[in-house]
Structure 1
């Protein structure tokens, strides 16, 4: 009986370790929650007081829906600028909001802090959504978040984080 329990525990550790492997040694992936899946694989990340990063929205790296440069201070986004595309402005003659005004460029978003992005992923996972979060193994900050709450194959929302700088 003890041998069977030990074997079961060993198999479980093997399955968990296999689910968190990544081809990039600096990235750890978690597919069930917004926290690293294996203890010690990436340090726990604590959102710093001030930092900057680039947020890429969209699951197709060749055609992102938007790229934003963000600055965060005191847990709030203090500045965000769309990179590589014109900022959308609604037509002043429009009597109602008809949705995105940027066409192929994608709609404008309110850029979240990384803490807000991680919290959103955790809430989605808690609500039964399919969530995949990748973390940098050097400091534990998120580098990619994918959320699918629709269950449809093409229903995922993706956010990539790059150019992360503390200070």
Structure 2
């Protein structure tokens, strides 16, 4: 009988959790309440800028870009590594929230995803995802110079 009551309590809690009214999923690796000692849950600001290096581990960089976000939309992308794309097109970079969404979609589709966040405010420092089933063609983004703007 105790098992039935415990199972009923689990079902009730799960049902209540599903009806929180928050339709937007949390960022990858985030939870509604951050455990003690972990980074806070990051909330994407309206206006900010960041620098991203498209680089995996020890491999050469595929480009370093400064991204400006205004109104939670990418307002500008500037390649800042002094290189020009040869034989490939420049990429469109998303907001940091969009980058986390891409990584989560890859994970939802069976790929691998890892994120590293800033312990002070929870913004992403590195995002890597791979949907190539062992081919090792990961997309890696190292984020620096993150700054919230007014």
TM-score (norm 2): 0.72
Q: Moved runs in structure 1, 4+ residues, more than 4 A?
A: none
Mapping of 1:82-101 within 5 angstroms?
82-88=79-85
Secondary structure of residue in 1 paired with 2:105? helix
Note the aligned Cα RMSD (angstroms). 2.1
Report the Cα distance in structure 1 between the residues aligned to 2:106 and 2:114, rounded to whole angstroms: 10
The alignment partner of 2:132 has SS state of coil
Give unmatched runs, 5+ long, in structure 1: 1-32, 89-101
Could you list the runs of 5+ residues in structure 2 that have no partner in the other structure?
1-26
Q: CA deviation at 1:153?
A: 5.2
Equivalent residue number for residue 55 of structure 1 = 52
For residues 112-146 of structure 1, give each alpha carbon's deviation from its aligned partner in whole angstroms, at most 9, with x where no partner exists.
10010011111111111110011111111011011
Higher RCO structure (Cα 8 Å, ≥6 apart): 1
Alignment size in residue pairs: 120
Question: Could you tell me how far apart the structure 1 residues matched to 2:138 and 2:53 are?
Answer: 14
With over 3 angstroms needed to count, the CA separation of the structure-2 counterparts of 1:64 and 1:81, relative to structure 1, is same
1:65 counterpart residue number: 62
TM-score, normalising length: structure 1: 0.65
Query: Which whole-Å CA distance do the structure 2 matches of 1:130 and 1:152 have between them?
Result: 10
